[in-house]
């Protein structure tokens, strides 16, 4: 299943990427997502947010009452035009689910348009497409939560 999310951040791309590499910010994201537990690792090449999240009732029969996800952000140095490219991957621990997205932070009149495009793939024979359709809103909500928390942090 194709993913295509666009976020607007009220800051330039470098400030947005710095926020996505901020441990306190990612802890806040996890708490607002309702994480049962979480950890954050800020490394030279990437940032990793690990969370155990409660599962919506419509997915519980497939995955249980909670899932562990590892979300990895990687961003390159800014290009001369101010655009910052990167990747976001989501690994659902113990599940045949892959989320891989290209991230592009585009400067737009003092703000940043964050575009995330990629694929959600559930590797379960016969029912994979059905499960993808049920998982996609969960992934979309996770990306939207990131945008909401960033809006709060960037307004400070």
List pLDDT tens digits, range 97-141: 889 999 999 999 999 999 999 999 888 888 878 878 877 877 888
pLDDT at position 124 = 80
Higher model confidence: residue 40 or residue 134? 40
pLDDT per residue over 10-29, tens digit each? 999 999 999 999 999 999 99
Confidence check: pLDDT of 60 > 80: no
pLDDT at position 130 = 81
Report whether 75 contacts 86 (CB < 8 A): yes
Query: Domain spans of the chain?
Result: 2-154
Query: Sign of torsion, CA 120 49 22 78?
Result: negative
pLDDT at position 13 = 98
Closest CA to 48 of 66, 29, 33, 32: 29
Dihedral-angle region of residue 2 (phi above 0 means left; psi in -120 to 50 means alpha; beta otherwise) = beta
pLDDT at position 12 = 97
Domain at 2-154, CATH homologous superfamily: START domain (3.30.530.20)
Q: Look at the pTM and tell me if it is higher than 0.75.
A: yes
pLDDT per residue over 71-102, tens digit each? 999 999 999 999 999 999 998 888 888 899 99
Tell me which DSSP letter residue 150 carries: H
Closest CA to 33 of 52, 7, 8: 52
């Amino acid at each position: 299943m194709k993913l295509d999310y666009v976020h607007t951040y009220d800051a330039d791309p470098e400030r947005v990427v710095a926020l996505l590499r901020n441990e306190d910010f990612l802890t806040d994201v996890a708490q607002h997502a309702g994480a049962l537990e979480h950890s954050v690792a800020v490394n030279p090449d990437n940032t990793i947010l690990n969370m155990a999240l409660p599962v919506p009732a419509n997915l519980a029969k497939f995955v249980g009452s909670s899932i562990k996800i590892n979300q990895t952000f990687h961003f390159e140095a800014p290009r001369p035009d101010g655009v910052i490219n990167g990747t976001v991957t989501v690994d659902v621990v113990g599940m045949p689910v892959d989320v891989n997205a290209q991230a592009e932070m585009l400067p737009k009149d003092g703000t940043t348009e964050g575009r995330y495009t990629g694929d959600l793939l559930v590797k379960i024979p016969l029912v994979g497409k059905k499960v993808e359709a049920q998982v996609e809103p969960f992934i979309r909500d996770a990306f939207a939560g990131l945008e909401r928390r960033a809006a709060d942090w960037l307004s400070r």
